[in-house]
Structure 1
């Protein structure tokens, strides 16, 4: 499928004289020849998969960047408006609600990614799968809300011991089910290959309504309990819109007619994934709980700001993983394992290439970025750097968890999640007691590194999938040069200006280093074809 891209896209629709002028332009001819050479080196099915995933990544990166900006704005206003202690109460309650929201769908989101593409020719079965996902989420949402209502005083006694925590936590208990509905609606968009729909609801509207609800509560003079209530009301309005709009746009209408015939296969996939999610709560989110239980409310607020910056570093992995699961599911179902392996390797290298400069900026200018939230939050710099090591390892191996699930090894992942969860709880507890906030980051970073290392070995053992080759050295070497350049800029440029100058200068150095060291033909192909696609769309809009 040409899509009007590649070498042929250089030929304009204008008069012959314009075409002759282009033919006489050696730069354009060379560029077209390079693009053709890259395309010839990549098989058609691999090329189509790479462009699908990378195209979704471009859209997702924009959406996730917007999400992170909205999240950072919310945390900025709350940290400034509530003060360190009250903000710490909010941060702990919010993080607990987020942990519960990872469980509320009971594995329905990965199950949607697994089965909606497979049932593309059977809308009725797709509707039943969607209906199961919504019903499961609502049921678990109600159960979690009831559990949080009863447990809130006990959680307060074990953690911050603040009178405002129980009502705040109880309000967020109702939020969990509402978030689950939005997540399922977004997952339906994602499963049918619509990155825009998923991004609109899950990446932009969800944090957007949280920001609006929080600001409205602050403007009305409410403290932390009122802020929680404002966020719940705003999210309820979003959930009421998300489900029917998802059905209308995708054509997948949730239904429970014939649910008994589909439930066995659905829960056979969803249940172990849900158990994996529960294990992952203890594996790489126990740090949040232990900071609240063993340290102070202020420390919980500082750690929450660290997690806000860490979330930026996860953007490349999230972006490329947006459409990789349905693509991987389709390739695996068709028995095209060799193509899947090639796609896995290329996508993982592109993730590494994208994440390296982000990690460099956060590592070099982390103190200045934390200081934006207030002077007390600069104490989170060392935990930030420690956590970045885990982010690098998690990004460097790519979508190991998703690929285990999409290749029907969800039980292996569940067992691994629980094994490492038990180990991580013990290690992180010891680290927090001994090292404080740094220990929390160390435990989580170590857990991320160990799990992803084991998962990449399991993928090779089970399916022969292995992403690494010598081309990975290129972005790593370029990143080393960039890190040195940024540190040099920070040494001579004072204050926040160093962040702007250093980031811009570092990115320029990184791009130059990549060009000198050489870029893989697949990466050049993806970059050029997507650039051509967006240039064509921009030109079309300008002509209107």
Structure 2
């Protein structure tokens, strides 16, 4: 009788799999494969970033590291702006222009030229405003030069991002991962480690990172052209520029709004608190960046896939793919959040005892990560369905209110207030964006299956708390993580896995098994 029940269950699951339309199956497998490739790259990226922060934090000490952290975070904010919307625009139009090399070349040429032009303005602004920023924040003699050097770094990083975006737009997750997720943080680690080893302080670290990035750009741009076949050109761009900037300009304004909405915390911590507090908050952001890995991974190839489905008016398929991918994101992010919530103090203390003070901001921030991940690729889908102006308006509406609220939160609550302001901004924006997607395009990701990974995560968290209480210290982190993840997988299995999720896992596992068998014949 048991065997008959097992066979019936298998047949039902197989029937569910067959009910998945071919175009939905193809889209899901494309996005999931991109997520697998990207997750490895993003995990390596986060490891390289964490290693860099560890080296610099240990090598410079809390005060000097705070100066470095503020200059570096400001540079990162500028990197978000320097491409002026070119990266999403490449995702929107390079797939649409498949088969038209001339139009692809013009789009790529506009992206590189725009990034370089805006980057030169950033360099001039960074050197000019650095003394004023220093006087308003950390008031350290090393800051202006470090800020100027990191400002000079911004256009170079923008060019690397455009190279990675070209790979991504043509469907090459490996190329994007190589440039943006591996080489970009690797050269930073090499430069920082060399400077610290030679005894340099903040300015030396900034200069070494800049020098290594110059080499990456000199090699990376020609390599991108050779590998993708997309040769940037400005010949005849007049016919393409209007359409390009009609998409890029509102996206750029959205990015500027998001700086004030999601990254004003960095500026306010530097302005209202101490250099040490700035360093602590920077380490918090390093851990938070790890929690964003699932969302970033699944969003790797979702934009070009969504653009293709939208262009062909296959909205039912796009809705099904959006729901399935979002559920996979939630399934992947919940155990990461559980580990960081339970063992956050121990993880922060790895950078030094001072940084354990960042646990409360970390815990608050994780709430925003959960909401942002639980709604999936709302921002990308708004842009890929030509609602970039709606997103721009929302970004600026929430940015204005967030600046005021975060200022009050930081003044009253310190570091925890900075995390609270940003976490609320993330939660509010993503909640509104998912409602806009439903209103404009009828896209809605949620169903009853979303509660299963959340319940499994609660069970895993309880198990990890028990291990932490019994063992304690750093050994509890390793043991608790292993036991907790095992509890999560077991709980998820008992609660039931969606047939589409099983389809993705089975198909990709079979593909990778075949790839391994071909590469390593027995």
Pick from 377, 399, 404: which aligns with 2:382?
404
| Separation in 2, partners of 1:34, 1:162 | 67
| Separation in 2, partners of 1:34, 1:160 | 63
Deviation at 1:38, TM superposition (A): 4.2
Write out per-residue CA displacement over residues 498-532 of structure 1, whole angstroms, 9 at most, x where no aligned residue.
Answer: 11111110111011011111000000000111111
| Separation in 1, partners of 2:277, 2:47 | 23
| Separation in 2, partners of 1:35, 1:470 | 18
Deviation at 1:66, TM superposition (A): 0.1
Write out per-residue CA displacement over residues 428-462 of structure 1, whole angstroms, 9 at most, x where no aligned residue.
Answer: 00000000000000000000000000000000000
Contact 1:38 1:524 in 2 (8 A): no
Pick from 392, 397, 400: which aligns with 2:370?
392
Write out per-residue CA displacement over residues 375-422 of structure 1, whole angstroms, 9 at most, x where no aligned residue.
Answer: 000000000000000000000000000000000000000000000000
Report the count of equivalent residues: 520
Partner of 1:276: 254
Pick from 171, 176, 193: which aligns with 1:198?
176
Partner of 1:504: 482
Answering whether residue 445 of structure 2 is matched by residue 470 of structure 1, we say no
Deviation at 1:39, TM superposition (A): 2.7
Pick from 81, 97, 109: which aligns with 1:103?
81
Answering whether residue 69 of structure 2 is matched by residue 61 of structure 1, we say no
Partner of 1:17: none
Write out per-residue CA displacement over residues 168-193 of structure 1, whole angstroms, 9 at most, x where no aligned residue.
Answer: 00000110000000000000000011
| Separation in 2, partners of 1:423, 1:527 | 42
Partner of 1:185: 163
TM-score between both structures, scaled by the size of structure 1: 0.94
| Separation in 2, partners of 1:39, 1:463 | 26
Partner of 2:304: 326
* Residue aligned with 2:473, SS: coil
Pick from 68, 92, 102: which aligns with 1:114?
92
Pick from 133, 142, 147: which aligns with 2:120?
142
| Separation in 2, partners of 1:527, 1:376 | 42
| Separation in 1, partners of 2:490, 2:10 | 22
Q: CA RMSD in A?
A: 1.5
Answering whether residue 351 of structure 2 is matched by residue 373 of structure 1, we say yes
TM-score between both structures, scaled by the size of structure 2: 0.98
| Separation in 2, partners of 1:346, 1:226 | 47
Partner of 2:55: 77
Partner of 1:50: 28
Pick from 195, 208, 212: which aligns with 2:190?
212
Contact 1:35 1:528 in 2 (8 A): no
Partner of 2:327: 349
| Separation in 2, partners of 1:256, 1:38 | 50
Answering whether residue 435 of structure 2 is matched by residue 457 of structure 1, we say yes
Deviation at 1:494, TM superposition (A): 2.0
Partner of 1:41: 19
Write out per-residue CA displacement over residues 218-262 of structure 1, whole angstroms, 9 at most, x where no aligned residue.
Answer: 122111100000000001110111111111101000001110000
Deviates more, 1:217-226 or 1:87-96: 217-226
Answering whether residue 201 of structure 2 is matched by residue 223 of structure 1, we say yes
Partner of 2:266: 288
Partner of 1:4: none
* Residue aligned with 1:161, SS: coil
Answering whether residue 491 of structure 2 is matched by residue 513 of structure 1, we say yes
Pick from 471, 485, 505: which aligns with 1:493?
471
Partner of 2:216: 238
| Separation in 2, partners of 1:36, 1:474 | 21
Structure 1, unaligned runs of 5 or more: 1-24
Structure 2, unaligned runs of 5 or more: none
Contact 1:38 1:525 in 2 (8 A): no
Deviation at 1:29, TM superposition (A): 9.0
* Residue aligned with 1:310, SS: helix
Answering whether residue 409 of structure 2 is matched by residue 421 of structure 1, we say no
Deviation at 1:31, TM superposition (A): 10
Deviates more, 1:295-304 or 1:216-225: 216-225
| Separation in 1, partners of 2:154, 2:462 | 44
